[in-house]
Amino acid sequence: MSDASPATQVSPANPLTEASATVPQTLLITLTGDDHPGVTAGLCEALTPFPLVIVDMEQIVVRGRLVLSVLVAIDPEHDERQDLSEVMANVRRAARQAAAAEDMDVTTVPGAQESPIHRQQRLEITVLGAPLKPDAVRQIANQIAGHGGNIDRIRRIAAYPVTAVVFEGSGADFHDLRSALSVTARRAGVDIAVQEPGLDRRGQHLIVMDVDSTLITDEVIDELAARAGVAAQVANLTEQAMAGALDFSASLRSRVELLKGLPETVLSEVRESLTLTPGARTLCRTLQRLGYRVCLVSGGFAEVIGPLADELGVDGVQANRLEIVDGVLTGRLQGPILDRRGKREALEAFATQFDVPLRRTIAIGDGANDVDMLEAAGLGVAFNGKEPARAAADAALSVPYLDSVLYLLGITREEVEEADARFPG
Q: Where are the alpha helices (DSSP H) in 154-196?
A: 174-188
Parallel/antiparallel/unpaired status of strands 150-158 and 163-170? antiparallel
Distance (Å, whole) CA 270 – CA 226:
10
Angle between helices 220-228 and 265-273 (to 10 degrees): 130
In the three-class reduction of DSSP (H, G, I as helix; E, B as strand; rest coil), residue 414 is classed as helix
Task: Return the H-helix or E-strand segment holding 192.
Answer: strand 191-195
Please confirm whether the linkage preceding 131 is cis (ω < 30° from 0): yes
Report d(CA 136, CA 422) in Å as an integer: 36
**Cβ count near 395 (within 10 Å):** 25
Query: How far is residue 238's CA from residue 245's CA, in Å, rounded to a whole number?
Result: 10
Cα 335 to Cα 386: distance, rounded to the nearest angstrom: 28
List C-alpha distances in Å: 233 to 16, 221, 266.
74, 11, 19
Q: Is 275 exposed, middle or buried (0-12, 13-18, 19+ CB in 10 A)?
A: exposed
C-alpha separations of 241 from 234, 317, 369, 370, 384 in Å:
10, 22, 8, 11, 16
Q: Which residues pair with 128 in a beta bridge?
A: 164, 191
**Interatomic CA distance for residues 150 and 138, integer angstroms:** 14
Task: From 261, 226, 240, 214, select the one nearest 383 (Cα to Cα).
Answer: 214
CA distances from 193 to 60, 133, 139, 381 (A): 24, 17, 15, 9
205 within 8 A of 292, measured Cβ to Cβ: yes
CB atoms inside a 10 Å sphere around CB 4: 12
Contact 277, 404 (CB under 8 A): no
Q: Bridge partners of 70?
A: 29, 57
| DSSP secondary structure letter of residue 383 | E
- Residues marked active site are found at 210, 212
